[in-house]
Structure 1
Amino acid sequence: MGLDTIRAALPAYAGDIALNLDSTIRAATLTPVQAWGTALACAVAARNPVVLREIAAEALGHLGPDGVEAAKGAAAVMAMTNTYYRARHLIGDERYASIPARLRMRIVARPGVDKGDFKLWCLAVSAINGCGICLESHEKTLRDNGFTPEQVNEALRISAVVHAAAVTLDAEAALA
């Protein structure tokens, strides 16, 4: 169950992804809450049922129910804001910068977990969703609140590996 199930489901050509699951999530220099919250938020964003189900099962023991809900909430709010801010940026017209987003984001103020951890999860999801504006904003907030570049990098590594596992399993399911 958990990461072992994901690793076993990955084909031989994705052996590097299988190896990196442990070295990024289980052996991360982040706290277990930070690492597993990052992994779960990224699994939600990556949208593969196997990856999500297995990471959620293992993450519960590290996060508890409140942490699981917060990680899912980070992915949900980033699905909305990453789409909005990435699109606004890609339009390239500075007039949009002065128009308020008027999108509710109450969970950011009261995530139910440490706000720094929540922001770390948001940064990792923003990497999957490809929103440069959100990446810059969350990275600055994290650094201003004492997170090191190494901690930010660890979250990005988890994001990359979880996303790669999801993409690989999606491809294998489509080709089956």
Structure 2
Amino acid sequence: MSLDAITSALPAYARDIAHNLGSTIGTSTLTPAQTWGTALASAVAARNPLVLREIAAEARGHLGPEGIEAAKAAAAIMAMTNIYYRAKHHIGDERYASMPARLRMQIVARPGVDKGDFKLWCLAVSAINGCDVCVESHEKTLRGRGFSREQVHDALRISAVVHAAAVTLDAEAALA
């Protein structure tokens, strides 16, 4: 079980994705736990079974059980909040901004890992889900916690490539 299983499953036209999958994860400025948490949260958000299984298998070697659960929790909570905040933003009526979400989000306060790492994983998932409000908010929080622009950039690169691999494999499965 490895990234090799994903890259070997990708068709020839996605050779760039295969290359980038290894290079973004392999040369990240993030710690191994941050890198694999980002990859795992992104794989959950991207929803492809092969991508998720293989990344989860590799992530176990870099994240403890708490890290695995936190990465999955980041994807789960962002699946809800990205939709909610993106929709409020798209409506364009400022009166919605003052309305409380009233959605339970306790995992954000106690993620089981360093809160900065959790926010990094939330950023990656928010990028996949296309929530401008959440991407901006998480980036600001991360920068305030001492994360560099390069680290934020690496998390975005990892999420983009994991998502691209998942989309490509889903397309190939649908066309098979």
Band the TM-score falls in, shorter-chain normalisation: over 0.9
Corresponding residue of 2:18: 18
Q: Give the % identical residues.
A: 81
The runs of 4+ residues in structure 1 deviating greater than 6 Å are none
Q: Displacement, 1:144?
A: 0.6
Equivalent position SS for 1:63: coil
Corresponding residue of 1:40: 40
Corresponding residue of 2:107: 107
* TM-score normalised by length of structure 2: 0.99
Q: Displacement, 1:107?
A: 0.7
Residue 157 of structure 2 aligns with an amino acid whose one-letter code is R
Residue 2 of structure 1 aligns with an amino acid whose one-letter code is S
Corresponding residue of 1:66: 66
Which whole-Å CA distance do the structure 1 matches of 2:152 and 2:88 have between them? 25
Superposition CA RMSD, Å: 0.5
Matched, 1:129 2:124: no
Which whole-Å CA distance do the structure 2 matches of 1:38 and 1:104 have between them? 23
Corresponding residue of 1:98: 98
Q: Displacement, 1:131?
A: 0.1
Corresponding residue of 1:155: 155
Residue 24 of structure 1 aligns with an amino acid whose one-letter code is T
Which whole-Å CA distance do the structure 2 matches of 1:26 and 1:62 have between them? 13
* TM-score normalised by length of structure 1: 0.99
Q: Displacement, 1:26?
A: 2.2
Aligned pairs, number: 176
Q: Deviations over 1:29-57 (max 9, x none)?
A: 11000000000000000000000000000
Which whole-Å CA distance do the structure 1 matches of 2:48 and 2:63 have between them? 21
